[in-house]
């Protein structure tokens, strides 16, 4: 299982970027929210693995008849 | 990889502001109800602030630097024109925000159960960036 890592970069103005790897679905949203705190979002996007993991999960559910 | 976000830091929690200023080497006064700032003549000014760096730690002609909590809960800096001109301007405020965000990120990550893996300071043309790494359980 891929390790879930979070990289936070804080620039010279105190603004931050948060990069999540190995997360999928709601766990991804929660982690991003945890590190956002009260800060204002400038950019937020899901990356390819988020969607492929969501599709994998749906396929699993179909195969198992859920 | 799964998600990416960029955020503008909002200073809304006193403890991280105080921790950040202390990390920058300042002794900080905290006043729950606010206290008057002192000007460079030693005169008490009309402005009050909740978090204060007294002028003795700054330049001999400096005024106190204050951070006042607004109605929206955010802290705003009170800086004189003189102090802005001698190195306590936007670049310095950026550094305050950077230390605030570092303190906040480390504390929040710990409280939410993320495991801290390390800190790296990266020198860039615009100034140092702080890189913090965590893993989720």
pLDDT tens-digit map of A7-46 = 999 999 999 999 999 988 788 889 999 999 999 999 888 8
CA distance B17 to B76: 11
> Cβ of B112 and A14 within 8 Å?
no
The torsion defined by the Cα of B36, B41, B43 and B47, in degrees rounded to 10, comes to -40
CA distance B72 to chain A (A): 12
Average pLDDT for A32-61? 75
Token look-up 């800096």 returns B77
Q: Quick check: A44 and B91 CB within 8 A?
A: no
d(CA B73, CA B1): 35
Chain B hits for A37, CB-CB cut-off 8 Å, are 104, 108
Across the range B36-62, mean pLDDT stands at 95
The full set of domain ranges for chain B reads 14-135
Chain B residues inside the 8 Å CB shell of A36: 5, 7
List the strands of the sheet with B3-8, edge to edge: A40-46, B3-8, A16-21, A5-10, B127-135, B115-124
Give the gap in angstroms from C-alpha A52 to the nearest C-alpha of chain B: 10
Residues of B in contact with A17 (CB under 8 A): 4-7
Q: What pLDDT is recorded for position A40? A: 94
Residue A36, classed as helix, strand or coil, is helix
Of B5, B12, B124, the CB nearest to A41: B5
Distance from CA of A2 to the nearest CA of B (A): 10
Which of A6, A40, A46 lies closest to B8 in CB terms? Answer: A40
Residue A2 confidence class, pLDDT cut points 50, 70, 90: confident
Q: Using pLDDT thresholds of 50, 70 and 90, give the confidence band for residue B131.
A: very high
What is the complex's ipTM, to 2 decimals? Answer: 0.92
Alpha helices (H) in chain B, listed in sequence order: 14-23, 81-85, 90-111
Q: What is the average pLDDT value for chain B, to the nearest integer?
A: 96
């Amino acid at each position: 299982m891929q390790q879930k890592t979070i990289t936070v970069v804080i620039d010279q103005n105190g603004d931050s970027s948060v990069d999540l790897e190995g997360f999928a679905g709601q766990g991804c949203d929660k982690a991003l929210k945890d590190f956002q705190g009260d800060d204002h979002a400038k950019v937020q996007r899901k990356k390819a693995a988020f969607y492929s993991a969501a599709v994998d999960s749906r396929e699993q559910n179909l195969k198992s008849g859920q | 990889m799964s998600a990416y976000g960029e955020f503008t830091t909002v200073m809304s929690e006193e403890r991280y502001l105080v921790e950040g200023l202390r990390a920058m080497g300042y002794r900080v006064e905290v006043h729950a109800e606010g206290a008057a700032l002192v000007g460079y003549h030693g005169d008490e000014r009309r402005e009050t602030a909740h978090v204060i760096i007294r002028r003795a730690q700054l330049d001999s002609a400096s005024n106190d630097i204050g951070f006042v909590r607004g109605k929206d809960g955010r802290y705003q800096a009170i800086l004189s024109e003189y102090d802005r001109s001698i190195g306590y301007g936007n670049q310095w405020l950026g550094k305050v925000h950077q230390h605030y965000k570092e303190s906040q990120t480390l504390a929040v990550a710990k409280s939410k159960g993320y495991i801290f893996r390390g800190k790296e300071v990266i020198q860039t043309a615009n100034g140092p960036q702080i890189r913090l790494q965590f893993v989720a359980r």
